[in-house]
Structure 1
Amino acid sequence: MNEFTINLRRVMLLEGTLEHGGSATCPLRRPETIVDAHIQVENDDRDHHLQVRFGPFTGSITLRRGDSTKYMSLRDFLQDVANGRTESGQQIQRAIALMEALDYVSQVLPEGLHAYITPTTDEHRPFGTVVTNDQGEVYATAYGSCKTALAEAVRTKLGQIPVGRGEHP
């Protein structure tokens, strides 16, 4: 399973923020990355009104103050948004995939080159990149089916030897 998760114990640590209002940050994890959920809580006599932000994407939920299951509901909501099971969550998933692709491609670039990642409309190669130098001159463009394939395509276009093919340090 490769989904973002948050344990209920971590969500229970938000009790003070839920009861008194304010803001908190809560990490969601999956094996290769961690994303912080920035939570803003406003209360009224009956409800907790939460705005959650994952990078540039937001979601909101209203929880009843007296509901004994509100922490489980909050955990489920955070996981749903982070894992793309809501409209804003799908945007977050795409943004995270692009950030991870940028990290992978950047690792294969020689000093002085920079990658710019973009989504494509090709479902078989959803990642695209342009590699430039500090002056903005294009050194390579590539497409890939995943972050690893994209990094390998860039490496090939730049004439580098692929990792794990017998090269010596």
Structure 2
Amino acid sequence: MSEFNIPLSRVMVLERTLEHGGTVTCKLQRPEASLDAQIYVENDNTTHHIKVRMGPLASSLALPRKLATKCQSLRDFLQDTANGRADSGAQSEEALALMEAQESVDEILLIGQIAYVIPTVNRDRPFGAVVINDQGEVCAAVTGSSKEQLAAAVRAKLQPGHEGLGEYA
């Protein structure tokens, strides 16, 4: 048995719907069957809020508007859902949370600094960030329970004259 896929022409319709919002029906196909996904997109300034219904199954997803791969992420989400890989939604949520944390940290970096945001194994502080400068020196290494706390911890470490600059939190 082959998997449900979205034809390229429908991917382009998904892209337009993501940008402008609204409702669209997307047909997922495999040789022996097809499946209609009803997709409703509502946009705000920062996020695409997506609701999907495939027969009796309903699901939702939020994608950052700035995300370069948002159309591919939506396509993958739809195909994974249609093919019974519902757990991929949780993985997508984790990936999106990491991307949002990366954006939060990037906003407070000084010129010449690069941040690397990673998941941790600590459930209480699931986000980690390491900031380096142009010379590859560690300027900050912190963990946080949310994107806001992570960004605040990085900001505190990067404050000029802050004691312990570059030490682990």
Query: How many residues align structurally?
Result: 114
**C-alpha deviations, 1:34-87, integer Å up to 9, x for none?**
9xxxx894443x512xxxxxxxxxxxxxx2xxxxx75341795662758x9921
Structure 1, unaligned stretches of length 5 or more? 1-16, 49-62, 64-68, 162-169
Write the mapping of 1:28-107 to structure 2, written as runs, cut at 5 A. 41-44=28-31, 46-48=32-34, 63=35, 71=38, 72-73=53-54, 76=57, 79=60, 81=77, 86-107=86-107
Q: 1 CA distance for matches of 2:139 and 2:147?
A: 19
**C-alpha deviations, 1:123-162, integer Å up to 9, x for none?**
111000000112322111011110000000001111269x
Structure 1 stretches of at least 4 aligned residues deviating more than 6 Å after TM superposition: none
Match of 1:9 in 2: none
Normalised TM-score (structure 2): 0.54
Aligned-pair RMSD on alpha carbons?
3.7
Query: Could you tell me which amino acid in structure 1 is paired with residue 89 of structure 2?
Result: G
Match of 1:3 in 2: none
Q: 2 CA distance for matches of 1:153 and 1:108?
A: 11
**3-state SS of paired residue (2:54):** helix
**Distance 1:144-1:78 versus aligned 2 partners, 3 A rule:** same
Query: Could you tell me which amino acid in structure 2 is paired with residue 144 of structure 1?
Result: G
Query: Could you tell me which amino acid in structure 1 is paired with residue 154 of structure 2?
Result: V
Q: 1 CA distance for matches of 2:146 and 2:152?
A: 10
Normalised TM-score (structure 1): 0.54
